Amino acid sequence: MEAVSYPLRIPKNVIDLANLRTKEEHVDKSTALRQFLYLDARDYVMELYQKGRISLSKAAELLDVSTFDILRLVKDQQSPELTGE
């Protein structure tokens, strides 16, 4: 996956959360922030895919994963609803 630099103002509470993650999960702050960014991006891509706004292959491309990974994510998101959790 290609990475690019981008200037960004990050709210202090998100930085505090990243600092907590660095202590809890033994990752550096940049990694923690990238993980938070990816988690929200993944949720957004999955929402678009499930609404039919993007294709399976586009969802996989945007998240840099296989189409099988996207289908697994869909199944994982549906599992709590099916079990009543």
Q: Where are the domains positioned within the chain? A: 12-83
Average pLDDT of the chain?
Answer: 91
Per-residue pLDDT, 46: 96
Tell me the torsion sign for CA atoms 54, 56, 58, 63: positive
The token pair that represents 8 in the structure block = 């960004």
| Distance between CA atoms of residues 10 and 7, nearest Å | 10
Total-model pTM: 0.78
- Say whether pLDDT at 84 is over 60: no
pLDDT tier, 82 (very low <50, low <70, confident <90, very high otherwise): low
pLDDT tier, 77 (very low <50, low <70, confident <90, very high otherwise): confident
Give Dmax over CA atoms of the chain in angstroms. 43
Least confident of 8-12, 26-30, 55-59, 80-84: 80-84
